[in-house]
Chains A and B, each alone.
Chain A
Amino acid sequence: MIPYRWTANTLWVVGALCVAMVPLAWAASLPETDRYGETFVVYAQVDRSDGTYRRMLTTPDVLNRLRNDEPLPDGTRILMETYYRPGELSTVFHKQKVEGKWQYGSFNGRGTVNLSTRPQASCLSCHARAAATDFTFTQPSLVAAPGQGLTRFTCDRGGRSPCDLETYLAGAGE
């Protein structure tokens, strides 16, 4: 006969494990792709009113290393896929954190994958507007991804300019 106390403790442990597994289950539910030679998961999609959209991706290990209220860890890599027509991948932007600083790169999504990065003036200058979120507009969505899965929201701004930071902050809560 198993003592009642053991049974209760076991239930508590199993319950706690189940609760702890929820974020992992959400993370596991994120769409992923191997098209870049390794696994990347999609954590956000930014839709525009003109039908174009962008998908934000990162590597699974980044999701495991995220800590609330801390800068994104060194080695973090983020991809931004641009789609000007549904399903038709255009330019892929890539950024990587190296020794605390972001470096940037890009390649044609229909061409050879090139994940090299370097400091780039136009990327750096634009991302300075997101200094409050570690120079990453969708950082709130990235941090929320293990808990709530894919974030999908709309940027109403015309053209290809990024929306204000508030749009991305609000989007992460949806």
Chain B
Amino acid sequence: MTYRYSLALRVIHWVTVFVVTGQVLLAGLNALLYEPRPILAEALVQAHLSMGFVVFILTCVRLAVRWQSPAPPPSTLASLRIGAAIVHSLLYIVLLLMPVTGYLRLATLGFEIRYFGLFSLPDLTFDPALANFAAMAHSALALGLAGLVVLHILAALFHRRLDGIGVIPRMAIRLKY
């Protein structure tokens, strides 16, 4: 029985935390700067778009690794087991859907997204209604992600108190446990 997630999963987890935090900052700064500093704001949006692609790839790789590698034992409490499964599943879904909706909201307006200035994805049919729907979904997913992250952090912090098992070391980047 393993008591930690694999090193690959732990690294992907913390890289995802780092990148998603950066995405929030980029989006927030864009909202603040688009009028007084529009050129800088546009550069931030380009970075946000490229890093969204990174989040999507990271999440796909993470799911593949998660599928293949053994996981630590689940909680002894059914409520915690079910709660964790739901929150983790929703986090994966949101992390996949946010880059997709971000792509759709611009690709359906005829805007070519150049990821890191290197490549772009195929053109989509011009559809402003879909673009607006994707934009609303992107905003709603961002709020959902914030809520899920709060739940996730609270659960990690209070897990030991609830069922006697501390789960934070499972994701810690340290080689000895």
Contacts and interface: CB of A to CB of B under 8 A. Distances in A.
Same complex origin of A and B: yes
A123 B39 CA distance: 11
B117 to A, nearest CB: 13
Which range holds the interface residue count of chain B?
Answer: 20 to 34
B163 interface: no
Interface residues of A, number: 18
Interface stretch (A38-46, A57-65, A114-122): A114-122
Contacts of B34: 122, 160
Contact of B35 (A91, A120, A125, A131): A91
Contacts of B9: none
21 contacts: A91-B38, A119-B110, A119-B112, A120-B42, A121-B42, A121-B46, A121-B49, A121-B111, A122-B41, A123-B42, A124-B106, A125-B106, A125-B109, A125-B135, A128-B105, A128-B109, A128-B128, A128-B131, A128-B135, A135-B128, A160-B35
Interface of A: 82, 90-91, 93, 101, 106, 119-125, 128-129, 131, 135, 160
Given A125-B106, A128-B135, A160-B34, 16 more contacts: A90-B36, A91-B35, A119-B110, A120-B42, A121-B46, A121-B106, A122-B30, A122-B34, A122-B38, A122-B45, A124-B106, A128-B105, A128-B128, A128-B131, A131-B129, A131-B131
